A and B are shown apart, each in its own frame.
Chain A
Amino acid sequence: MADARTAKTSNARIWLAGGWLLVALLATIFAPLLAPQDPLAQDLLYERLPPFWMQGAEPGFWLGTDSLGRDLLSRIIYGGRVAFLVAFAAAAAACIVGSALGLAAGYFGGWTDRVVSRIVDIWMAFPPVLFAILLVAVLGTGLSSVIIAIAVIDWTRFCRVVRAEAMGQARMDYVESARIAGFGRFDIMLKEVLPNVLPAIVALLSLEMGIAVIVEAILSFVNLSISTDDPTWGGIIAEGRLSIHQAWWVLVFPLVTLFLTVLSFSQFGEGLKARFDPVLR
């Protein structure tokens, strides 16, 4: 009974969260077709227009405009491009580095484990947001700097989980049988242990994409992400924070978009985890 309910809620989560992510992703991919206005076009006659249902709104500017008269909806849609690009690239990079080190540490144990664990300890002693800001300042602003910074900071998240999982797997009978059957250590690690650790990695990957979206927003909020001309969600939010008493919509709409996206990434991951987890299933 309870199991059936868990399965149902985890399915609902996956569909709802996945649905929003798919819609948002498609909107950013087809941004040139969907955005009603040029996201960079300034028009001082149209500054701080309210959203469509309010007095003084102009047709074509559905969610209103910012203090430079730029269309908010178009900026949010184009800002999603940076957000999703960073989410996929940074999460993938963090995942590959962290999982590889975690797998090696957990499966080989001994010195490998001690060195990797010590590095993870050192990394955990950094305040992550400050570390990210510092790295981007050092690498110089730009898309690749943001991606590298997030990967450099967040690989530990994968490393810790995969290490613990691999440690558990390494003690299982099937690993011992494979060894007796004459398989090499790397072969066992990649062909036997890795597939069993994969569900944990996939769930974490979705969670990490949400975190990457947030970190990118934070970096662009403090004006350290990509160039200031291109719209980013954090950049729009920083604008909205400044003009909050004159034009609340400039803060509300990107904030809601960010809320839904981050919530969806984490719920998608949780839903996948519940589905893959043999104990819960």
Chain B
Amino acid sequence: MILQRFLTRLLTMAVTLFGVAVVVFVVIRIAPGDPIAMMLPPGASQADIDRLRALYGLDKSIVEQFFIWLAGVLHGDFGTSISLRQDVLGLVMNRLPATLELSIVALLIAVAVGGVLAVIGARERGTAVEAGIDVANGAALSIPDFLWGLAFILVFGVLWPVFEISGRVSPRLELPFVTQFYLFESIFRLRFDLTKDLLSHMFMPALALALPLAAIIAQLLKQSLKELLSLDYVVLARVKGFSETQVILREALKNAALPTLTLVGVQFTFLIGGTVIVERLFSYEGLGNMAIDAVINRDLPLIQGIVLVFALLFVLINLAVDMLYAVLNPRLRHG
């Protein structure tokens, strides 16, 4: 049952990714402006232009170009970046860990803040505390990450400068890292001085990304908790003498988490999509920041590679959430 679900999902995933590849390829190819002309100094001869076009495969028809590129991608060859003159896959893999770390820290903040607010709101249901949480949720939901980021730069970067507002790590530090997962590696190496510096750079962009998701989690989880709290088994636990907080944490939370989980999956992909502009805002050296540069430089192979990696990330997260839901949901597990 679960295996069948998994295989169907895998197939739709492949179709989606193929669709993304086609769309991005077509969109880029209708772009006016010749990337080759931008690479060469003015006054380059037509022969030079032609040679370079052939080198990047731009002299063939669109359909041919697409299948040559697709065959390469399937072999792990995403082409060569025109502006940076390096292997696209290498460039992307170099930047992806920074974006993943930022997204994961943001997700953790969102789950922690949203979860705590949901439990408090459910405990204090019907009071001014719950109403206050609802108002805060409404505001956090309506304001997008871009504006939160700018507000945090003003408040915590300028007015009360406790966090760094630019970059991923202080340039004066010597980094002993062998991977690009700076934050995780600094923890494993017990170099907490570096962890602190990395977190100081990461905290504000992560918080900006986390707030809208935290609001969604708080709202949905609180709603499910409130519904469960009137059910028999919860009432029984209360009769047994558990305190309201214990009842929520021990009995209700586990069952309330399942519907929230599905939504968090989709919302997490929105959060990752938000890293593009938030990284730009904080000059954080991640994939999104590189993507904007790639678009400005009309670096076609690099844009294609980055968009495809983002799309792959999105469908993988959806697949993982779907499978997790199937495994955790008893009705589907035994169905």
Tell me the A residues contacting B by CB distance below 8 Å: 118-119, 121-122, 124-131, 133-135, 137-138, 140, 210-211, 214, 217-218, 221-222, 224, 237, 241, 244-245, 248, 251-252, 255, 258-259, 262-263, 266-267, 270
Give min CB distance, B205 to chain A, whole Å.
14
Chain A residues contacting B16 (CB-CB under 8 Å) are: 118, 121-122, 125
Give min CB distance, B41 to chain A, whole Å.
23
Tell me the B residues contacting A by CB distance below 8 Å: 12, 15-17, 19-20, 23-24, 27-28, 30-32, 138-139, 141-144, 146-147, 150-151, 153-154, 157-158, 269, 272-274, 276-277, 280-281, 288, 291-292, 295-296, 298, 303, 306-307, 310-311, 314-315
Interface of A, secondary structure class, is: helix
Whether B19 contacts A134 by the Cβ 8 Å rule is no
User: Lowest 6 A-B CB distances belong to which pairs?
Assistant: A122-B19, A127-B273, A266-B142, A125-B311, A138-B31, A129-B276
Partner pick for A218 among B32, B139, B142, B146, CB 8 A cutoff: B146
Q: A137-B295, A245-B158 are in contact. Are A218 and B17 (CB under 8 A)?
A: no
Looking at B141, B292, B315, the one whose CB has the most chain A CB atoms below 10 A away is B292
Q: A126-B310, A140-B32 are in contact. Are A133 and B150 (CB under 8 A)?
A: no
Q: A129-B273, A248-B154, A262-B143 are in contact. Are A138 and B20 (CB under 8 A)?
A: no
Q: How far is the CA of A72 from the CA of B295 in the complex (A)?
A: 30
Q: How far is the CA of A60 from the CA of B291 in the complex (A)?
A: 42
Chain A residues contacting B144 (CB-CB under 8 Å) are: 211, 214, 262
Chain B residues contacting A218 (CB-CB under 8 Å) are: 146, 277
Partner pick for B314 among A124, A140, A241, A266, CB 8 A cutoff: A124
Whether A130 contacts B298 by the Cβ 8 Å rule is no
Looking at A129, A241, A252, A255, the one whose CB has the most chain B CB atoms below 10 A away is A129
Q: A214-B146, A248-B154, A259-B143 are in contact. Are A130 and B17 (CB under 8 A)?
A: no
Q: A218-B146, A255-B151 are in contact. Are A126 and B307 (CB under 8 A)?
A: yes
Q: A130-B291, A248-B154 are in contact. Are A217 and B307 (CB under 8 A)?
A: no
Chain B's closest residue to A256 (CB) is B151
Chain A residues contacting B31 (CB-CB under 8 Å) are: 137-138
Whether A118 contacts B306 by the Cβ 8 Å rule is no
Looking at A122, A244, A262, the one whose CB has the most chain B CB atoms below 10 A away is A122
Whether B288 contacts A252 by the Cβ 8 Å rule is no
Q: Can you name 7 A-B pairs with beta carbons within 8 Å?
A: A118-B16, A124-B314, A125-B19, A127-B307, A127-B314, A133-B292, A135-B27
Chain B's closest residue to A2 (CB) is B126
Q: How far is the CA of A211 from the CA of B30 in the complex (A)?
A: 27
Whether B273 contacts A134 by the Cβ 8 Å rule is no
Partner pick for B295 among A134, A221, A237, A255, CB 8 A cutoff: A134
Whether B272 contacts A127 by the Cβ 8 Å rule is yes
Chain B residues contacting A244 (CB-CB under 8 Å) are: 153-154, 157-158
Chain B residues contacting A245 (CB-CB under 8 Å) are: 158
Whether B150 contacts A255 by the Cβ 8 Å rule is yes
Partner pick for A127 among B19, B32, B142, B276, CB 8 A cutoff: B276
Give min CB distance, A107 to chain B, whole Å.
23
Give min CB distance, A148 to chain B, whole Å.
12
